[in-house]
Amino acid sequence: MKKLFSILLAAALLLPPAGMEWNGSPAIAAGDKKFQPGVEAFIQGTYLGHANELPDPNESLEVLQTYLSAKGSPKELDTFKGLVNKFPDSRHAHVGLAMAYYNEFSAKKDKKFAKLALEHELKAAEIALSYGNVLYTAWVKQMALDAGTPEAAVGLFDKVLAAQPDHYFTNLHRAEMLNAMGKQADAEASFKKAIDVREAGNIDAHAAYAEFLITAGRYEEALVNTILIGENAYYIDFLHGYALEKLGKGAAAQASYTKFTEFSQAFPAPAKFKIDGSAYQAGIAFEQSKSAAKSGDNTVNAVIGPEVVAASTNLSWAITCEAGGESVGGMRMVGWSIRQRVNRGSTKVGGVTCLSVTNAGSTMDAKYGDVICQSKQYSGVSCDTSDNVTKCTNTNVRTATTNQVAFDVYNGLVPDPYTGYCPTGTRSSTTYCSATCTGATNNTTSFTTQTPHSFLSYSHAPLWGCAITAGAVCGNGGSDNYFDYNNANN
């Protein structure tokens, strides 16, 4: 099994890191990656085995043990302060302290904690860059906004783009930051650049740019400049519907809204795009606005729909926690591993249970929550007592892309990226990672024994050992890329 781990590790280092915002070329060759004594064995049983969390060559076993034990503990802040003082060049020490300070900010709303969080998140990002990796740009953006020092984030982004001008996530986050700073012309240039360099299927830049144009009242441009052909993008359909309604084209607006209506039941539209009295938006769920929530106003002219937690919502969280920043195919792969567990249950080889799955519940929402929150399975998620994902244990957050991938996988509208299996319809191409299921109708329950049942990562490999064959698919960047694949009967 140790040999298997070494093989997986070598493969992981040649692929784009899981959860990492990656620019398309491996930053570290497998032969160049070194660990401090005891580290390789230690990370096998933890989510530090995910490639975006792989320790840097200078990080000791003590750092990593403390990092895992301190997160979320009552003495989290003091512990990470001490860790940074002792190991000032450790990326994990700084990112741990950054998140501890940010937790203080979230609880107390004192901007000084946001500034301290940003200081250490920037340090962690700089350390990552010294090893050729781009990490934490989304959280640098958010912390800089909360700290009121957006120029600090732009400085980091400019440094990255000077070396890697086509880095998708950095261009996108730079655009969003500049927009927040009121620098619309520069922001627009970065939005356009992000759209130019994005991977097919990743719709985040299109969604953000459409919102940017709509907010500026540039409705015609929003329709022309954010068109996606041959890709499912229901939130962008909604934004196009909004632009059309604002242009007085009600029938066309309703046609776009119709594509979004079912999607909105799991992923409500932002309250700011609710048009009071609109007959065309009937049936669309919107996020609960703060004013409506306080007043108790749930009339038809208020936003419709409180916060929703559905199977697709939890699935989107799991996808972003486990594969945020990866290729869309890598995101689909995580989603399909969960869909398989929900519908197939435990796996047996020769009559012996090889993978034990908990998928209890009378509804699909309950089943998905049970699978995703099963202990020691999807280590990137943080769940509440109702088996709903509340956040990621890393710094990933849900996006328009992860929501779309979750909806498509849950409803069987895209194929399993390993075998190309479509529950209904016909696979549109032999490129399974980006194909769709042409002519598909919603199917939430089908599975196949030929489809990968679960992904095999560092923490999983020693525990299961029932893989008949394993393969790397979709450019998923870590050991998660290896599925526990078998032809066994349940």
Mean pLDDT per 10-residue segment, the chain (490 residues) = 37 30 29 77 72 86 95 94 98 96 95 98 97 92 96 98 96 98 98 96 97 98 95 97 98 97 96 97 86 39 47 95 82 88 75 74 95 85 91 85 97 88 92 89 85 41 31 39 37
Residues in the chain: 490
How many CA atoms lie less than 13 Å away from 314 in the CB half-sphere? 25
Helix (H, G, I), strand (E, B) or coil at 377: coil
Q: How many whole angstroms separate alpha carbon 310 and alpha carbon 290?
A: 21
Q: How many CB atoms lie within 10 A of CB 449?
A: 14
DSSP 268: P
Amino acid identity, position 394: N
Q: How many whole angstroms separate alpha carbon 129 and alpha carbon 167?
A: 13
Name residue 469's beta-bridge partners: 485
Q: How many whole angstroms separate alpha carbon 17 and alpha carbon 23?
A: 10
pLDDT of residue 4: 37
pLDDT of residue 326: 78
Dihedral through CA 226, CA 477, CA 51, CA 151, nearest 10?
A: -20
Q: How many whole angstroms separate alpha carbon 249 and alpha carbon 242?
A: 10
Q: How many CB atoms lie within 10 A of CB 373?
A: 21
Helix (H, G, I), strand (E, B) or coil at 87: coil
Amino acid identity, position 26: P
pLDDT of residue 452: 47
CA angle 297, 298, 301 (to 5 degrees): 90
Residue where the block lists tokens 């070494």: 6
Written as six digits, the tokens of 269 are 């539209």
Residue where the block lists tokens 């989107």: 316
Q: How many CB atoms lie within 10 A of CB 263?
A: 24
DSSP character string of 308-335: ---HHHHHHHHHHHHHTTS-HHHHHHHH
Q: How many whole angstroms separate alpha carbon 33 and alpha carbon 54?
A: 10
What does the radius of gyration of the chain's CA atoms come to, in whole angstroms?
22
Q: How many whole angstroms separate alpha carbon 201 and alpha carbon 26?
A: 21
Q: How many CB atoms lie within 10 A of CB 200?
A: 14
pLDDT of residue 350: 55
| Domains of the chain as residue ranges with CATH | 1-164 (1.25.40), 198-264+268-307 (1.25.40), 311-484 (no CATH)
Backbone phi, then psi, for 16, in 5-degree steps?
-65, 135
Q: How many whole angstroms separate alpha carbon 140 and alpha carbon 128?
A: 13
Q: Is the Cα dihedral 403, 409, 413, 415 positive or negative?
A: positive
pLDDT of residue 304: 35
Residue where the block lists tokens 């020092």: 149
pLDDT of residue 271: 96
Q: How many CB atoms lie within 10 A of CB 4?
A: 15
> Measuring CA to CA, which residue among 236, 281, 260, 238 is closest to residue 400?
236
Q: How many whole angstroms separate alpha carbon 398 and alpha carbon 231?
A: 19
Q: How many CB atoms lie within 10 A of CB 10?
A: 13
pLDDT of residue 54: 84
Q: How many CB atoms lie within 10 A of CB 354?
A: 19
Written as six digits, the tokens of 216 are 């500026």
pLDDT of residue 489: 38
Contact 314, 372 (CB under 8 A): yes
Written as six digits, the tokens of 185 are 């012309």
pLDDT of residue 347: 67
pLDDT of residue 353: 64
Q: How many whole angstroms separate alpha carbon 199 and alpha carbon 325?
A: 11
Q: How many whole angstroms separate alpha carbon 127 and alpha carbon 121?
A: 10
Q: How many whole angstroms separate alpha carbon 284 and alpha carbon 270?
A: 11
Contact 409, 339 (CB under 8 A): yes
Written as six digits, the tokens of 37 are 């004594």
Q: How many whole angstroms separate alpha carbon 287 and alpha carbon 264?
A: 9
Q: How many whole angstroms separate alpha carbon 381 and alpha carbon 333?
A: 16
- Model confidence, pTM: 0.83
pLDDT of residue 264: 96
Q: How many whole angstroms separate alpha carbon 317 and alpha carbon 124?
A: 24
Written as six digits, the tokens of 50 are 């995910």
